[in-house]
C-alpha cells in the first residue's frame, strides 16, 4: 500500500457540530492510523482546541449571515508539508484554495460532495433570488466539482444528483461517511434532558430553516395526543428563538428541551438515552446523525428525502415518511412507542444496519480513490478543467 501526504481542505471543522466536520475528523484520524501523513486545513473557529494535532488553522473572520460559518483567508505559507493528494470537502474558501493548489501543481484532486449548497442560499443576502432565476449556486457547484479528478458522493441517490442535476462530468464514487461506534459508545452519560417518566424523543442537528425542525415539533404535538412524550433538540442555530416561540404557540414549550451544542465526544450519551430519533431535513446528502443514532440502537423516523433514503432500512431500522408529513411521522413514532417489543426489534436492526459503516472501512476505500486519482493525473496530466473564479493571487504564492 502506498502511503500519501494528504491535505484535507474544509471550511467546516470541529468544534462545529455538523456532519462535514465529523466526517473530515474521522477520515484524518483513520488515515493517520494507516500510516499516511494526513492534515486538516480548516478555519480558525472560536473555542477550537489549541492542543489538537495534525490540524492547520487558517485565519478567518465570522460570516454575519450564517451563525458559526467563517470566511477563511488562506495562504500557501500555512501549508505544513508538500501534499501529494488534495482532498477538498466544499466549494468555499478553503475548498477553492485546495482545488487551485492541486491544479497549479499538477497533483491529484479528490473532492467529496457533502452539501446541497444551493439549499443554503437563503443565508447570503440576494443569492436566493439569483439561485431561483439563474441557478447561480448550482453552477458554482458544477464548476468546482468538474475541476476534481474524482468525486466522492456519500450515497447512490446523491451520486445520481451529482451526475444528472449538477451535471458533473467527473467519475463519481459512492463512499459513505464513516461512523465511530467506539467514540459514540464511550461518551459519558449526560444529565438527562428528558423529565422522568416521559417517552424520550430526540432530534440532532442545526436549528436552521433547512433542517425543517418545525415538522418535528408539529409531530410532537400529534404524538402527545396519545403518548406522554418529551423532545430534546440537540444543536444550535439561527431559528432557536423562532422554534421556541413556535413550540410555545402550540402549547409545547414545557415538553421541549433545547440542549444546545454538544461535542462529538459527548453526543453518544444522548443517543443511548433516546428511544426514537425524529428527523425532517430535506437537504441531507447522507444524514450522518441518522447513522449515528442507529449505531447506538435508536430507531429513526425521518422524511424520505435525498441522502436519508439510503440511511434507513425501512421496517428494520426505522421508517420513512413524506416530506413535511408531520402526521405520518407521528403515526410511525407512535407505532414504535406503543409496542416495546417492536421498538426493541428495530433497535437491534438499527445496530446491525449501521455496523456496515465503520470509519476504518471507509478510509481504506478512500485510499483506493487516491490511488486511482494518482494514476489519472499521471496518464492525463493536462485534463480539461472547467474554469472557476480566481482567488487573489497573493493567497496562493508559495514561500517554500
What pLDDT is attached to residue 284?
Answer: 82
Sequence ranges of the chain with CATH classification 3.40.50.2000:
5-178+358-395, 181-356
| CATH H superfamily, domain 181-356 | Glycogen Phosphorylase B; (3.40.50.2000)
Please write the tens of the pLDDT for every residue from 387-400.
554 444 444 444 33
Indicate the average pLDDT of the chain: 90
The reported pLDDT for the residue numbered 66 is 66
Please give the pLDDT value at position 67: 66
What pLDDT was estimated at residue 70?
86
Highest mean pLDDT among 27-41, 70-84, 276-290, 382-396: 27-41
What pLDDT was estimated at residue 225?
A: 98
How far apart CA 172 and CA 190 sit, in angstroms, is 40
pLDDT exceeds cutoff 70 at 143 = yes
Give the Cα-Cα-Cα angle 286, 108, 307 (nearest 5 degrees): 10
Write out pLDDT tens, residues 95-131. Answer: 999 999 999 999 999 999 998 766 666 666 676 777 7
CATH match of 5-178+358-395 with 1.10.10.10? no
Tell me what pLDDT residue 170 has.
94
Measured CA to CA, the distance from residue 41 to residue 78 in angstroms comes to 9
- Alpha carbon distance 223, 229 (integer Å): 7
Tell me: pLDDT of 291 over 60: yes
pLDDT given for residue 294 in this prediction: 97
* Cut 0.85: pTM above it: no
Picking from 351, 335, 379, 317, the residue whose alpha carbon sits closest to that of residue 108 is: 379
Three-class DSSP category at 74: coil
**Predicted pLDDT of residue 127:** 64
Report pLDDT digits (tens) over 314-337: 999 999 999 999 999 999 999 999
Mean pLDDT to the nearest integer, 5-32:
93
* 386, pLDDT greater than 60: no
DSSP-based three-state secondary structure for 164: helix
Counting Cα atoms < 13 Å in the Cβ hemisphere of 366 gives 36
Contacts of 225 (CB under 8 A, 6+ apart): none
Res 380: pLDDT: 74
Q: How confident is the model at residue 241 (pLDDT cuts 50, 70, 90)?
A: very high
Amino acid at each position: 500500500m502506498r502511503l500519501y501526504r494528504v491535505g484535507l481542505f474544509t471550511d467546516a471543522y470541529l468544534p462545529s457540530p455538523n456532519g462535514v466536520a465529523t466526517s473530515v475528523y474521522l477520515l484524518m484520524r483513520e488515515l493517520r492510523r494507516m500510516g499516511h501523513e494526513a492534515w486538516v486545513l480548516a478555519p480558525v473557529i472560536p473555542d477550537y482546541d489549541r492542543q489538537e494535532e495534525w490540524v492547520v488553522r487558517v485565519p478567518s473572520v465570522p460570516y454575519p449571515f450564517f451563525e458559526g460559518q467563517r470566511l477563511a483567508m488562506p495562504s500557501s505559507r500555512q501549508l505544513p508539508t508538500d501534499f501529494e493528494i488534495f482532498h477538498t470537502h466544499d466549494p468555499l474558501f478553503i475548498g477553492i484554495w485546495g482545488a487551485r493548489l492541486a491544479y497549479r501543481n499538477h497533483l491529484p484532486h479528490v473532492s467529496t460532495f457533502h452539501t446541497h449548497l444551493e439549499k443554503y442560499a437563503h443565508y447570503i443576502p440576494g443569492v436566493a433570488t439569483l439561485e431561483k432565476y439563474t441557478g447561480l449556486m448550482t453552477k458554482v457547484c458544477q464548476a468546482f466539482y468538474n475541476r476534481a479528478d474524482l468525486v466522492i458522493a456519500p450515497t447512490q441517490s446523491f451520486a445520481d444528483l451529482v451526475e444528472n442535476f449538477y451535471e458533473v462530468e467527473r467519475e463519481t464514487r459512492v463512499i459513505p461517511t464513516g461512523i465511530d461506534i467506539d467514540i459514540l459508545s464511550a461518551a459519558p452519560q449526560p444529565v438527562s434532558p428528558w423529565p422522568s417518566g416521559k417517552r424520550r424523543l430526540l432530534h440532532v442537528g442545526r436549528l436552521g430553516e433547512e433542517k425543517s425542525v418545525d415538522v418535528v415539533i408539529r409531530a410532537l404535538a400529534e404524538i402527545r395526543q396519545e403518548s406522554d412524550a418529551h423532545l430534546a433538540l440537540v444543536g444550535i442555530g439561527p431559528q432557536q428563538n423562532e422554534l421556541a416561540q413556535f413550540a410555545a404557540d402550540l402549547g409545547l414549550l414545557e415538553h421541549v428541551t433545547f440542549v444546545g451544542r454538544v461535542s462529538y465526544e459527548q453526543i453518544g450519551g444522548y443517543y443511548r438515552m433516546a428511544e426514537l430519533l425524529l428527523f425532517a431535513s430535506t437537504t441531507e446528502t447522507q444524514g450522518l446523525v441518522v447513522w449515528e443514532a442507529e449505531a447506538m440502537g435508536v430507531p429513526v423516523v425521518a422524511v424520505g428525502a435525498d441522502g436519508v433514503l439510503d440511511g434507513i432500512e425501512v421496517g428494520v431500522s426505522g421508517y420513512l415518511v413524506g416530506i413535511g408529513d408531520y402526521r405520518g411521522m407521528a403515526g410511525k413514532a407512535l407505532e414504535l412507542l406503543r409496542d416495546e417489543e417492536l421498538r426493541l426489534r428495530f433497535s437491534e436492526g438499527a445496530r446491525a444496519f449501521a455496523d456496515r459503516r465503520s470509519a476504518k472501512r471507509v478510509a481504506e476505500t478512500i485510499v483506493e480513490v487516491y490511488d486511482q486519482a494518482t494514476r489519472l493525473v499521471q496518464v492525463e496530466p493536462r485534463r480539461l478543467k472547467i474554469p472557476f473564479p480566481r482567488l487573489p493571487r497573493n493567497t496562493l504564492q508559495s514561500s517554500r
